[in-house]
Amino acid sequence: MAEKGQRTPVAEIYRTLRDRICLLDVEPGARLPEEALAAEFGVSRTPIRQVLDRLEYDRLVVQRPGAGATVAVVDAKEVRDVWAVRLKIAELVGDFVRLPASPAVLEELGDVRRGVDAVRVSRDLRELGALYNRYHEAVLAVFSSDTLRRIHDQLYHQTARVWLQFLPEMDLDAEIDVMADEVDQTTQAMEGSSGPRLAEIRVEHMQMLLSRFNSHVARPLG
């Protein structure tokens, strides 16, 4: 909560609420009352409406006249469609990256990798989700196209919470192993100048994750 007299920037409010939705801190269908959010962040209801409008555009929030805003429920068909587009975009990544990555990006990936190992002990599912969000941000940091970055980011957050929803039903140690491998491979690709290799890693792991989802749901997601 913002300190008395302190106003939180709209962009920060947006990212905070988006993280809460994608990390399941607020569940699908939960209400997002404007008045309570305005009080929490120390702003008027106008910037809160702006944030909710943006989250609605991202398809993470639903707003209905007289009913206010609620967290969007994950729709299986929509997830399939978004995932198909994400896979196509991942194939393009190699043509729109600046490599080798900066020391700051490589340091962030190293920190994420250490965090993944820590989850083997803590068994904290939310933390694993937060670490994958950080991994995603590190990948975005090497994109040379602002347009591709925005599209990639938006579609990622439309599907990010699906993994967390299924994670309690999955083999946690296996998921940790796969994520650790993905971070390691990505780091190696970013240390060099292999954009095509980075794209290959992204496509491979997205397909693997989709396959794991399909083994845990009655109606396949792809």
Matching CATH topology for 10-71 and 76-214? Answer: no
Residue 47 is predicted with a pLDDT of 96
In order, the DSSP letters of 23-46 are TTSS-TT-B--HHHHHHHHT--HH
Residue 222 is predicted with a pLDDT of 45
Query: Which residues 6+ apart lie within 8 Å of 152 measured at CB?
Result: 86, 89, 93, 140, 143
Residue 4: helix, strand or coil by DSSP? coil
Residue 6 is predicted with a pLDDT of 62
Burial class (CB in 10 A: 0-12, 13-18, 19+), 147: exposed
Q: What is the DSSP letter of 75?
A: P
Query: Phi/psi at 114 (nearest 5 deg)?
Result: -65, -35
CATH fold label, 10-71: Arc Repressor Mutant, subunit A (1.10.10)
CATH fold label, 76-214: Four Helix Bundle (Hemerythrin (Met), subunit A) (1.20.120)
Residue 91 is predicted with a pLDDT of 92
Whole-prediction pTM: 0.91
Q: What is the DSSP letter of 199?
A: H
Return d(Cα 43, Cα 152) in angstroms, integer: 30
Range 167-197 burial, b when 16+ CB lie within 10 A, else e: beeeeeeebbeebbebbebbbebbeeebbeb
Q: Where are the domains of the chain?
A: 10-71, 76-214
Residue 61: helix, strand or coil by DSSP? strand
Return d(Cα 130, Cα 69) in angstroms, integer: 24
Residue 121 is predicted with a pLDDT of 98
**pLDDT (tens digit, 0 to 9) for every residue of the chain, 222 residues total?**
445 446 679 999 999 999 999 999 999 999 999 999 999 999 999 999 999 999 999 999 999 988 899 999 988 788 888 988 999 999 999 999 999 999 999 999 999 999 999 999 999 999 999 999 999 999 999 999 999 999 999 999 999 998 998 899 889 999 999 999 999 999 999 998 889 999 999 999 999 988 887 776 655 454
